[in-house]
Each structure stands twice: as C-alpha cells, then as structure tokens.
C-alpha cells in the first residue's frame, strides 16, 4: 500500500506530492514530485528512509537533508513527509487522517 499527501504552500506558490511505500522492517520508499527546485533536490536525498528517520529528530535524514537541500525552516514538506511515513507505517490511522481532512496552518492576525 502507498500513502500519499499533498503540500499546497500558497505563501511560496509551490505544490508538492509525497508518496511513501512501506518496504518492510520500518523502511520506506519515498517519491516526491514538486515544482520547487529545492524540494526536488531534497527528494533525491530522501528516496529511502528507515524507522529512525521518521521517529527521531536527531540523526534523521528527513531533517538533516532538508537543511542540506536548502529548504527554509518554514517549509512544510519535511513535516508532511513525517506524517506520510506515520500513516504508511500504521502509527497514525489512515482512516482517521482521510476522514478528518487537511491539517494546515492558518494565520489569524
């Protein structure tokens, strides 16, 4: 099975689709398609993740490679990737995620 999420970052006018597939023992195959050149660079760096990459902050490819690819600290792609991995691994309910719909940041003032 594959879990798929969309990042629609209106502030920077970029869209990203993340697909994550469980390949066993906590490892995930990752495919990221984006119109952002920095996210495309990031995608090449995180094509395969291990359990610790989406469970821990320290030593995680998700966070380390975001820095190396030049993503801003406000980029939503890394956290969307973590969420996709959690859904794909069963650590977050896919049914609940689909039922509740988008999670987002809303500027209120």
- What span, in angstroms and rounded, lies between the C-alpha atoms of 93 and 44? 28
pLDDT of residue 41: 98
Contacts of 108 (CB under 8 A, 6+ apart): none
pLDDT tens across 64-104, in order?
999 999 999 999 999 999 999 999 999 999 999 999 999 98
Q: Please state whether 43 falls in left (phi above 0), alpha (psi between -120 and 50) or beta.
A: alpha
Model confidence at 1: pLDDT above 90 = no
Q: The whole model's pTM is what?
A: 0.96
The whole-number pLDDT of residue 38 equals: 98
* pLDDT tens, position by position, 33-50: 999 999 999 999 999 999
Higher pLDDT, residue 1 or 93: 93
Q: What is the pLDDT of residue 107?
A: 92
Within 13 Å of residue 46, how many CA atoms lie on the same side as its CB?
32
Asked whether residue 51 carries a pLDDT value surpassing 90, the answer given is yes
Rounded-to-integer distance, Cα 78 and Cα 37, Å: 15
Residue 9 DSSP class: E
Which CATH architecture does the domain made up of 2-99 adopt? Answer: Alpha-Beta Complex (3.90)
| pLDDT at 14 > cutoff 90 | yes
């Amino acid at each position: 099975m594959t879990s798929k999420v969309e990042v629609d970052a209106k502030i920077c006018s970029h869209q990203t689709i993340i697909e994550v597939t469980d390949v066993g023992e906590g490892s995930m195959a990752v495919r990221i398609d984006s119109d952002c050149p920095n996210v495309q660079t990031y995608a090449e760096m995180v094509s395969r993740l291990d359990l610790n990459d989406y469970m821990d902050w320290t030593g995680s490819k998700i966070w380390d490679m975001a820095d190396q690819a030049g993503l801003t600290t406000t980029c939503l792609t890394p956290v969307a990737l973590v969420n996709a991995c959690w859904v794909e691994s069963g650590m977050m309910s896919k049914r609940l995620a689909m039922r509740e719909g988008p999670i987002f940041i809303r500027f209120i003032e």
